[in-house]
Structure 1
């Protein structure tokens, strides 16, 4: 069984996934894997250079801040890059999932809905939190401005859209305890482990 865990930037989805890992569920981190693929996949490297110029890689490392500056200013460019990256990450997840010995796996992805990957999942868990709290979390975590966080948020679906297509909702709002919410979901899913 494939479970998608998603939520907007700073919602707490990684925290939810770490708890599932403690319960023995393998977790595929789509965002982290995409970052690896842009440094190791020859096709992606070639395409990034074609879009952003040969100097976008410095000593074999993608200049992520330069890419981000371009992407968040130009939504059409963002769509173009996503059209290259998302299918590769999706295929990588499928290969990874097929190699797991567990009957239950999790795909943690910030843009699960936006990328269309939710269609490949058996169940969806969406993690939600108030926007101001999410911004505070990301500012502390990434040392970035609230404006840059809001720009990223503008490229993600609103929580209401995600909730409408989700099987489970986890509220990571600092008002409700997250672990009891996860354990309630776990009671339903654990038979697949």
Structure 2
């Protein structure tokens, strides 16, 4: 079974691409949502987070205090790196367990914004980068995330690996630029990945 990574910066449309693969019957692991699940349910990680970030990390009801945690790491690269160094290994193990449950499939997909930053690309056989130009990403995100300003979005983008670097490191690129159709690009890769493990 092939393990295919899908990555791309905020607003590139990697989730739309992943949904298209899911419609084709490919199991898709959403690293962001699974990370939240793991932070809630993995007792070892919960304790590591409490030790690192204090008792306010979880509410009295045991819910992850995402607002508090985001405030701790947003403009603090060292704290963000600390958080990622705790969370990513547990998500990696969770992905391996999940992948094993889909062993009969020709391939599975892991969607992750920080695939290269977190080193999780090392678990993948191949990586697909989803690309969109900056001005189009800003337009999409300002429409989608009404609570964010252009400055907020640019700050997030500035902390992510550049799109050019992602494209250089990936084995495949899907262009989501409103000029090239996405579906034919997805279908071509689906055929390629399915045959590779036939």
Q: 1:150 aligns with which of 136, 151, 154?
A: 154
For 2:48 and 2:156, locate their aligned partners in 1 and report how far apart those are by CA, in whole Å: 22
Q: 1:96 aligns with which of 88, 95, 98?
A: 98
Q: 1:115 aligns with which of 114, 118, 126?
A: 118
State which drifts further: 176-185 or 130-139: 130-139
Structure 1 residues 32-43: aligned runs within 5 Å = 32-43=33-44
- Could you tell me which runs of 5 or more consecutive residues in structure 2 were left unpaired when the two chains were aligned: none
TM-score scaled by length of structure 2 = 0.90
1:151 offset after TM fit, Å? 2.5
- The corresponding residue for 1:176 is 180
For 1:150 and 1:40, locate their aligned partners in 2 and report how far apart those are by CA, in whole Å: 32
- Could you tell me which runs of 5 or more consecutive residues in structure 1 were left unpaired when the two chains were aligned: none
Is the 2:49–2:86 contact (alpha carbons within 8 Å) kept by the matching residues of 1?
no
For 2:43 and 2:32, locate their aligned partners in 1 and report how far apart those are by CA, in whole Å: 18
Q: 1:134 aligns with which of 95, 117, 137?
A: 137
| Structure 2 residue 6 is matched with structure 1 residue 5 | yes
- The corresponding residue for 1:29 is 30
Is the 1:17–1:108 contact (alpha carbons within 8 Å) kept by the matching residues of 2?
yes
The 1:178–1:115 alpha-carbon spacing in structure 2 relative to 1, beyond 3 Å, is: same
How many residues align? The count is: 193
For 2:139 and 2:39, locate their aligned partners in 1 and report how far apart those are by CA, in whole Å: 28
Is the 2:99–2:108 contact (alpha carbons within 8 Å) kept by the matching residues of 1?
yes
Is the 1:138–1:144 contact (alpha carbons within 8 Å) kept by the matching residues of 2?
no
TM-score scaled by length of structure 1 = 0.93
